[in-house]
A = this chain, B = another copy of it.
Amino acid sequence: MSTKPPAVATDAQASAAIHRPATGAGNWLGVEALHYKQEGSAPFRDVSRRVLFGDAQFSSQLRYFEVQAGGYTTLERHRHAHAVLILRGGGKALVGDAILTLAEHDLVSVPPLTWHQFRAPHDGPLGFLCMVNVKRDRPQLPTAAELETLRSNPRLAAFLRD
């Protein structure tokens, strides 16, 4: 390391790069693992959340979610869309009435007001990136009647049964 004072910043060197190296599967230096949701607010199992890019200069956020083996995200919908890229592992997703089998680097668009849930397999994690607009509505949970409608489709019932 040099002990010389830093050169005077020029316009061309105005801002410092932020480099957050990957320090292992689903971990980055200086990126905190957050609670996925408030405990008890909605059903989910074994999910962590990280905001990879979320500062004010971006009109969207890029988050990383990791679902551990056997875990699942909340079944929910909202007006905002999700842009998802599978970063690690595989699993399945329910999106509307489709059940998708996911592999590394697959892309998934979750359209507005579409029920969705991501599930890790029983033998490994599912890690995915999710881009959302900063300005977005809160998720809605299914009512008992809506759940019943979803479960009237045997494929969806099997997916939701875990």
Binding site for B on A (CB under 8 A): 7, 10-22, 28, 31, 52-53, 55, 57-60, 62, 77, 80-81, 83, 85-87, 93, 95-98, 100, 103-116, 129, 131, 133-135, 142, 146, 149-150, 153
Given A60-B60, A131-B58, A17 contacting B95 (CB threshold 8 A): yes
- Interchain CA distance A97-B53 in the complex, whole Å: 21
Tell me if A22 and B96 are in contact (CB < 8 A): no
Q: Give A88's nearest chain B residue, CB to CB.
A: B105
**Shortest distance from the beta carbon of A13 to any chain B beta carbon, whole Å:** 4
Given A59-B135, A60-B59, A110-B17, A150 contacting B98 (CB threshold 8 A): no
Which of B15, B109, B142, B153 interacts with A18 by CB under 8 Å? B109
- Set of chain B residues within 8 Å of A85, measured between Cβ atoms: 52, 62, 129
Instruction: Please give me the 9 A-B residue pairs with the lowest Cβ-Cβ distance, nearest first.
Output: A17-B95, A15-B111, A60-B60, A22-B105, A53-B83, A59-B59, A18-B109, A20-B107, A13-B97
- Interchain CA distance A64-B6 in the complex, whole Å: 34
Total copies of this chain within the assembly:
2
- Interchain CA distance A12-B160 in the complex, whole Å: 15
- Set of chain B residues within 8 Å of A97, measured between Cβ atoms: 7, 13
Tell me if A17 and B131 are in contact (CB < 8 A): no
Tell me if B16 and A133 are in contact (CB < 8 A): no
Tell me if B19 and A98 are in contact (CB < 8 A): yes
**Shortest distance from the beta carbon of A48 to any chain B beta carbon, whole Å:** 16
Tell me if B87 and A105 are in contact (CB < 8 A): yes
